[in-house]
Amino acid sequence: MSEDRAPVYVLGVNTGPHDGSAALLRDGELVAMVEQERLSRNRYARGEAPRDAIDACLVQAGIGWAELNRVAVGWDVPRLCEIEGVPYDEKEFREWLG
């Protein structure tokens, strides 16, 4: 990595109906990955936003939300909402994530 540019951070999030998790890359290299159930102690973390997993990844890297360049979600959330018969609201989804 060149010293004259900031690192690129990509947060990957699995937000499905169970097994939520997060992973963080810095310049394409894995920095941290955490399953939500390991932190909440709730097997499969059913219905939980992976907030604790996200926070753990950010803490491991020593950064905050503002330093993230991209967030990749491992589900087609609007389609999942459609299947479940609930309206999708992007603002509400972002708040749910943390």
Just list the catalytic residues.
18
Q: Are the beta carbons of 90 and 73 closer than 8 angstroms?
A: no
Q: Count the Cβ atoms, other than its own, within 10 Å of residue 22.
A: 27
Which residues, at least 6 apart from 2, have a Cβ–Cβ distance to it below 8 Å? none
**Cα distances (angstroms) measured from residue 91 to each of 47, 59, 72, 95, 98:** 18, 24, 16, 6, 11
